[in-house]
Structure 1
Amino acid sequence: MTIKRKAIMPYVQIIIGTAITATGINGFYAPNHISDGGVSGIGIILQYLLHVPIWVTLTIINLPLLWLSHRLWGGRVGVRTLAGTILLSVMVGVIRVHPLTHNPLLATIYGGILSGTGLGLVFRAKGTTGGTDVIARFLSHILPVSMGQAMMTIDFFIIAGFGVVFNPTQAMYSLIALFISSQAIDVVQEGTAFARAFTIVSGHADVIADRIMAEIGRGVTRIAAEGAYTGEKRPILYVVVLRSEVTRLKELIYDVDPLAFVVVANVHEVVGEGFRSPPLEE
């Protein structure tokens, strides 16, 4: 990839991401009075109460918040953050789609998927779309709460506003939308749980490690450990395999040691030899 293309691609990704998010807002959320929180949720409420276009609310709230962030904490507002903030307002104003469904459940599901996918692309390009994270950061400085807790509280009050302005059912759909969009963001940024990490404790660690490398072709990390109760020194094996290799690895382990202690964990992203290549530094 050329230097010029590497410099342009993040902005292309931000453009695509904001367009997808705007489609979720205009095609699913707004017509059905549902939101996953954030400034767009405030925009949907104000559109219903005062007939203010959502893109206007996004601009009026987000740009001053970016200025406030700069004034309070100093530093330059990132170009990609500024691009994501402005582009989301532009896309919401420009992309005019006929309501794709009036079924609130479908609107919740597909709106959440589109909103989360779009935001995930923006975040993956190291940008943001402004919004309530600035308010959350401010609250975390003046109150004994973490930024995550502050953001959850803000989203809770915005979604509660849907229950007051519309009805409690819309607020409940919005909570589901918030969960779906959060999961979609994680999938776009981290990938799906396509791999599994095995932690293996066995008295036959050497034999198991040799067979894993020979028969499955996966690297094994040996970690020196000591049993707290017995004081016995025993190595721990750590290995990551594809989901399709899980059963084969379990059979291999228990064929060598039926009493092996094994912990299997989901892995959302694996970068390195035998899996995905490391991303190029920008």
Structure 2
Amino acid sequence: MKRLRLPGPVIDAIYVIVGILFCGFALKSFLVPNQFFDGGVTGVSLLISELYHIPIAYVIVAANIPFIIMGLKQVNRTFAFKTVLAIVGLGLCLLYMPEQHVTSDKLLVSIFGGVFMGIGVGLSIRGGCALDGIEVLALYTGKRISFTISEIILGINIVIFLIAAIKLGLPTSFYSIITYYAASKTSHFVIEGLEEYTGVTIISAQSEIIKERLVMELGRGITVYKGERGFLKNSFDVSHPVDIIFTVVTRLEVLRLKDLVHSIDEKAFIFTSTIKEAAGGVLKRRARQH
């Protein structure tokens, strides 16, 4: 039986709509009623709304306008158009979604408010837009100064939480940092999912057997580098040619791969690295089979 596949734009729209609902729920039911904050543009919007008593729906739309313009220049028109619709949708959601004060427990608010916010932001990114323009700003700024995007985002958020500490007190600022941390970790998980890829490098004297089993048993593509092993302290002049194996697996497969390699060579040297994005090759062909 042939599985029904929805068109890409429909899937993107579903991601964005559900993301808006999650963000709206986090703001209206956790953060706004308890005067808590998040990082990024959302954090700035919450801070302005709290200090000047302006409805959060209007502030969050207005605050994102400059970043939508940046997105038009830095990314593309499709991204900017989707982001406009998403931000307006979030504003409408905040206007008409009933406010439900779920809990006053500060720890629960900071954790679950951040989790729901992170789910919403992550889903919107998977849908091809941004409900928070902080990363667009970091991308724009990163091309002009010698800092990474992560460092720029961290710097902006430090300023936000310092202002919150001065205006609303240290406890609120500290709990808001927890909110931001929960949101950022959750959004990362939603974006990358369980299929986050990990690069694995294997150096072993039994490389021929390992190569065969990686391909035939795990069905993974491999890349082989020619290298030398040895160069020990007591025998620095002694070395041997070796095939250095590199492959990419999902994080759920890392343990299985390590067990397979160590069953062949207990002394095999294995190290892993996070792959931010992977496409094509065997990965692409495997995806098409589903």
| Alpha-carbon contact 1:80-1:126 (below 8 Å) kept | yes
**1:279 Cα deviation after fit:** 11
- Structure 2 counterpart of 1:96: 98
- Structure 2 counterpart of 1:20: 22
Equivalents in 1 of 2:208, 2:58: separation in Å? 64
| Alpha-carbon contact 1:136-1:154 (below 8 Å) kept | no
Equivalents in 2 of 1:275, 1:101: separation in Å? 48
Which consecutive unaligned segments of at least 5 residues does structure 2 have? Answer: 232-237
**1:275 Cα deviation after fit:** 10
Q: CA distance change for structure 1 residues 275 and 246 in 2, over 3 Å: closer, same or farther?
A: farther
Equivalents in 1 of 2:242, 2:170: separation in Å? 56
Larger fraction in strand: 2
Q: TM (normalized to structure 1)? A: 0.80
- Structure 1 counterpart of 2:224: 223
The more displaced of 268-277 and 43-52 is: 268-277
Alignment of 1:263-278 (within 5 A): 263-264=271-272, 277=287
Q: CA distance change for structure 1 residues 205 and 107 in 2, over 3 Å: closer, same or farther?
A: same
Matched, 1:237 2:245: yes
Q: TM (normalized to structure 2)? A: 0.78
- Give CA deviations for 1:93-123 in whole Å, capped at 9, x if unaligned: 2222311111111111111111111011111
- Structure 2 counterpart of 1:48: 50
Equivalents in 2 of 1:183, 1:84: separation in Å? 22
- Alpha-carbon RMSD across the aligned residues, in angstroms, is 3.7
Q: CA distance change for structure 1 residues 223 and 75 in 2, over 3 Å: closer, same or farther?
A: closer
Q: CA distance change for structure 1 residues 8 and 73 in 2, over 3 Å: closer, same or farther?
A: closer
**1:62 Cα deviation after fit:** 2.1
| Alpha-carbon contact 2:115-2:183 (below 8 Å) kept | yes
| Alpha-carbon contact 2:40-2:132 (below 8 Å) kept | no
| Alpha-carbon contact 2:195-2:250 (below 8 Å) kept | no
- Structure 2 counterpart of 1:202: 204
**1:212 Cα deviation after fit:** 4.4
The more displaced of 14-23 and 185-194 is: 185-194
- Structure 1 counterpart of 2:266: 258
Q: CA distance change for structure 1 residues 257 and 43 in 2, over 3 Å: closer, same or farther?
A: closer
Counterpart of 1:277 in structure 2: which amino acid? A
Counterpart of 1:202 in structure 2: which amino acid? S
- Structure 1 counterpart of 2:235: none
- Give CA deviations for 1:5-51 in whole Å, capped at 9, x if unaligned: 43333223212111111111111111222222223323333333332
Equivalents in 2 of 1:264, 1:109: separation in Å? 30
| Alpha-carbon contact 1:14-1:84 (below 8 Å) kept | yes
| Alpha-carbon contact 2:29-2:99 (below 8 Å) kept | yes
Counterpart of 1:102 in structure 2: which amino acid? S
Q: CA distance change for structure 1 residues 78 and 279 in 2, over 3 Å: closer, same or farther?
A: farther
How many residues are matched?
A: 278
Equivalents in 1 of 2:157, 2:6: separation in Å? 38
Alignment of 1:143-162 (within 5 A): 145-162=147-164
- Structure 2 counterpart of 1:128: 130
| Alpha-carbon contact 2:121-2:132 (below 8 Å) kept | no
| Alpha-carbon contact 1:120-1:184 (below 8 Å) kept | yes
Describe the SS at the equivalent of 1:153.
Answer: helix
Q: CA distance change for structure 1 residues 274 and 206 in 2, over 3 Å: closer, same or farther?
A: farther
Describe the SS at the equivalent of 1:235.
Answer: strand
Alignment of 1:19-38 (within 5 A): 19-38=21-40
**1:171 Cα deviation after fit:** 0.8
